[in-house]
Amino acid sequence: MSLLVQKYGGTSVGTVEKIQAVADKVAAVKRSGDDIVVVVSAMSGETNRLVALANEMQENPEPREMDVLLSTGEQVTIALLCMALKARGCDARSYTGTQVKILTDESHTKARIQSIDEHNIKTDLNSGCVVVVAGFQGADQHGSITTLGRGGSDTTAVALAAALKADECQIYTDVDGVYTTDPRVEPNACRLDKITFEEMLEMASLGSKVLQIRAVEFAGKYNVPLRVLHSFQEGPGTLITLDEESNTMEQPIVSGIAFNRDEAKVTVRGIPDTPGVASKILAPIGEANIEVDVIVQNTAADNTTDLTFTVNRGDMEKAESVLIEATKELGVQEIVTDDSIVKVSIVGVGMRSHAGVAATMFKTLADENINIQMITTSEIKISVIVEDRYLELAVRSLHEAFGLDKKD
């Protein structure tokens, strides 16, 4: 007998029929003798609908109220799934994050899980119940509802699997595993049987939303066996593994290509080139809670410098107004913003032991006439910023150049 945590994403519970199909699956697992905790997302489109409603009420709704609102989406699906399970003769009990006692910090809309009280869940499992938990939510020490950031149901599932020492955490979604790149952009993408935590962390942080980055971090930290599978098609899916050595023999140099459309660029031109200017520009951005990603500084012959950095697209206008204020005394020439950029990245632990990977990447993009605006590298990834209209072309040509295309 195993203990499984299964998570079903929004598209997998997007209609009454799909919730019933999930109930059929879960009831079958239960009948086969395994214990099962199910985590569900809101029905697809529901969280976006709630965000849109909030924006009609107020320009910048308070994060605390956002969380009260957004957590309702998952509350609907846990109750419906329990009803469907009971209709199949399978005893089931639903829990919101607050009811479980998923304790988080107080960062509304992007809270982090601090602890989970597994007592009630264990009691229910022991009495033969299927436990159904609302993803994406918890409560802080004052009892206020919090949410874990978009895609956060993945993290709920992994955290529960860690707390309950489950045999496997299975993330069921609308693709049958983790692919070499998003199969919706590159139809020649291949499903990976395995991917290391390290690579999956990079892929997730560079924009592959198949798993939320915090879920991968959690699984790596607590050694949770994690697998991505298709909700309604049989198959082995993709195992996220710690085991880097076992497949080094045929380890490809590049394992995957990630991209992020949610990028914008801010350039401050003609800054007097003196010590401390980068800090004078970036410190107020940090203080305004804006995350900065890629940074490039160029020095001109006339003792001035240009500083360019990228932020999430939604933060671009805020960054611009913060900078207009912050650079008043500095005497800069101009501040320019551009939200028609994307970031494309190649990822692979095999890059550690191979030279020339960057050269291949840059030549591939040059051959397609794609101009690289910014570059950033780490041991196992190279990212470039390019104009957004080149996204598909860049992903597909790199996919082919690094030998990732499906071989039929």
| Positions that interact with ligand ASP (CB under 6 A) | 9-10, 41-42, 47, 73, 135-136, 150-154
Question: What are the angstrom distances between the C-alpha of 78 and each of 4, 22, 40, 96, 241?
Answer: 17, 12, 7, 8, 30
Are the C-beta atoms of residues 41 and 9 closer than 8 Å to each other?
A: yes
The site for ligand ADP, by CB under 6 A, has a size of: 19
- CA atoms within a 13 Å half-sphere pointing along the CA-CB vector of 209: 12
179's contact among ligand ASP, Mg ion, ligand ADP, none, with CB below 5 to 8 A by partner kind, is: ligand ADP
As measured in angstroms, the least distance from the Cβ of 259 to ligand ADP is 8
Rounded Cα distance between 372 and 294, Å, is 13
For residue 71, the SS3 value is coil
As measured in angstroms, the least distance from the Cβ of 56 to ligand ADP is 24
The one-letter amino acid code at 302 reads: D
Phi and psi, residue 120, nearest 5°: -65, -40
220's contact among ligand ASP, ligand ADP, Mg ion, none, with CB below 5 to 8 A by partner kind, is: none
As measured in angstroms, the least distance from the Cβ of 136 to ligand ASP is 4
Interaction with ligand ADP in 191-210: which residues (CB under 6 A)?
Answer: 208-210
The site for Mg ion, by CB under 5 A, has a size of: 2
Considering only 4, 6, 9, 103, the residue that binds ligand ADP (CB under 6 A) is 9
Q: Is residue 179 part of the contact set for ligand ADP (CB under 6 A)?
A: yes
Rounded Cα distance between 63 and 80, Å, is 27
Binding mask 248-287 for ligand ADP (x = CB under 6 A): --------x-------------------------------
As measured in angstroms, the least distance from the Cβ of 325 to ligand ASP is 33
**What burial letters (b/e) apply to 375-398, b meaning 16+ CB within 10 Å?**
ebeeebbbbbbbeeebbeebbbbb
Q: Which residues contact 239 (CB under 8 A, 6 or more apart)?
A: 193, 194, 195, 225, 226, 227
Binding mask 130-159 for Mg ion (x = CB under 5 A): ---------------------x--------
Are the C-beta atoms of residues 36 and 6 closer than 8 Å to each other?
A: yes
In the numeric block, which tokens belong to residue 162?
A: 């860690």
Q: Is residue 73 part of the contact set for Mg ion (CB under 5 A)?
A: no
Choose between 80 and 385: whose C-beta lies nearer to ligand ASP: 80
Q: Is residue 43 part of the contact set for ligand ADP (CB under 6 A)?
A: no
Q: Is residue 135 part of the contact set for ligand ADP (CB under 6 A)?
A: no
Q: Is residue 14 part of the contact set for Mg ion (CB under 5 A)?
A: no
175's contact among ligand ADP, ligand ASP, Mg ion, none, with CB below 5 to 8 A by partner kind, is: ligand ADP
Beta strands in 220-274 (DSSP E): 226-230, 238-241, 256-272
Are the C-beta atoms of residues 135 and 169 closer than 8 Å to each other?
A: no
Considering only 119, 184, 261, 352, the residue that binds ligand ADP (CB under 6 A) is 184
Considering only 4, 5, 6, 10, the residue that binds ligand ADP (CB under 6 A) is 10
73's contact among ligand ADP, Mg ion, ligand ASP, none, with CB below 5 to 8 A by partner kind, is: ligand ASP
Rounded Cα distance between 216 and 212, Å, is 7
* CA dihedral angle for residue 74, residue 80, residue 83, residue 89, rounded to 10 degrees: -90
Q: Is residue 177 part of the contact set for Mg ion (CB under 5 A)?
A: no
Rounded Cα distance between 222 and 245, Å, is 20
Tell me which residues touch ligand ADP (CB under 6 A): 9-12, 41, 151, 173-175, 178-179, 181-184, 208-210, 256
Contacts with Mg ion by CB under 5 A lie at 9, 151
